[in-house]
Structure 1
Amino acid sequence: MSLIDTIAIGDRFGAWTVTAKGERLISGRSRRVCFCRCDCGTDLSIDAYSLKSGVTTMCRTCSNRIKANMGQRLTHGGSDTRLHGIWCSMRKRCNKPDSQDYHNYGGRGISVCSQWSDFADFRDWALANGYAPHLTIDRRDNNGNYEPSNCRWIGRKAQNRNRRDNIRYEWRGKQMLLSEIAEITGLPHDLIRRRVRRDGWQVERAATTPPGTRWQHEGRYNDIGL
C-alpha cells in the first residue's frame, strides 16, 4: 500500500481538508496527489508525503497572515526584560511537564489564566499593581492559579516565607516560622533553628534562653550558641 492509499477523502491535515485524490504532472511525470482545500477556501494539489509529514499545514496566504500576526505580538518590546522572564518562567512551570518545577505547579493543577496568555496584558497588570525590579510574583493562595485576583508582588524574603514546604511552629498562640520568631526575640535564627531541630528543644525555651547559656544533659555540660 502506498502512502497516498492511507489517506481518505475528508481527512484533515492542519487547515487542509482532502476533497479528492487523483494525478497531476510533476516534472514531466504523472504523480498521484491529494486535492485539498484550506480553511480559507484555497484549493491546491499536494503530495501525500507533504501532508503526512506536516511539511504543509495551510496555504501560503494563511501562513503569511499568521506570521504577520506573530510579528505584531512580538513588537511589545519587552522580550529582554526581567518582567518578560518572569512571565515565561510562570508559564513554563505550569504548562511544560519537562520543567523541573512542573510537579509543584502544573502537576498540581495550577495554571496561568487565559488573560495572561499575551505578555502585553500581563505586563500592563504588573505595572499597574506594584511591580518593581526587586519584587517577585506571589500567589496569595498557594493552591490557586496565576490570575490577577490571586497574585501580588512581594520581596524575596516574603516569598521564601510563603513556600508550601516551610515548617511553622506554635509560639505564643500563633503559627510562625523560626525566622519570624528570631526577629521578634532578637536571637540568631541559626541558634534557634539548631536548638529546635537538632537538639530537640521546645520552641519557647529555644526562643527565650540567651546565647551561651550552659545546661546539663546526660551528666555533662553543653554550651549552646557559642
Structure 2
Amino acid sequence: MKQKRIYKPYFDVNEYIGKRNNHLTVIALAERKPNDDGWRLRCRCDCGGTIDVLPYQFKNGAVKSCGCLRNTIYAKQDGRSKHPLYGIWRQMMQRCYSEKSKVYHRYGGRGITVYDEWHDFFNFAKWSDSVGGRPDGYTIDRIDNDGPYSPDNCRWATMHDQCRNKSDNIVVEYNGKSQTLTDWAKELGINWVTFHNRYVRGWSIERMMTEPVHTKPDHTAGA
C-alpha cells in the first residue's frame, strides 16, 4: 500500500514567529489546505484581524494588512467614509476586534462580536434604514449587554436609555444585600446616571454607596 506523502514547510517557522512587517505580525504556521500552493504564515493585523500569507509576501511587504488598509481606501472611493453612520460602525468594529482599542477588554476581550453580515458596512446601514434610521443624538445600543451587535439585539438609543439598560443588568452586593445599580440608585437617592458613572470609573463599592454627591457651587448666589 502506497504511503501518503507528508509535506513539511521548507522554512523554519520559528524564524518568523513574532516578526513584524508593515501592519502584520506572524503568530503561527497556518494549516495547509489541499489547494494551497505552499505553506503560509498566520499573521495578526494591527486592526485585530488575521490573514495567511506566503513567506515571501511577508518578507517583501507585498501584503501589508489583513485587508483593512484596502477597505479604508475603498471607503473613500465608494463614499462610505462620508456616510453619517460610518464612524459608529468603525468604532463598533474596533472595540470588538482591535486589541489596540482602549475599550477592547469590555467588548472583544470578553467575547462580544459583530453579526457577520454587519462586517459589510452597507448591510449595517440597511439595518438602520429598516428600523427607521438613527435619530439625532442616538447611538448604537445592545439590549442584552452580554450579547452581540446583531439585528435582534441592537437599537438606536439615547445615552440615558443606555445607562439605564446597563444599570439594570449590573448587580452589586453591599452589606449582604444584592440589587441592580438602578435599584441601589433609587434606594440611596442618587441620580442613576451619576451612580452608573461611579461604577464605570472603578470606584470601590463602599465609596459608591457612601460618598455624597458633590454639586458645583452657585456663584450667582447673593449677586
TM-score (norm 2): 0.48
Greater radius of gyration (CA): 1
TM-score (norm 1): 0.48
Higher strand share: 1
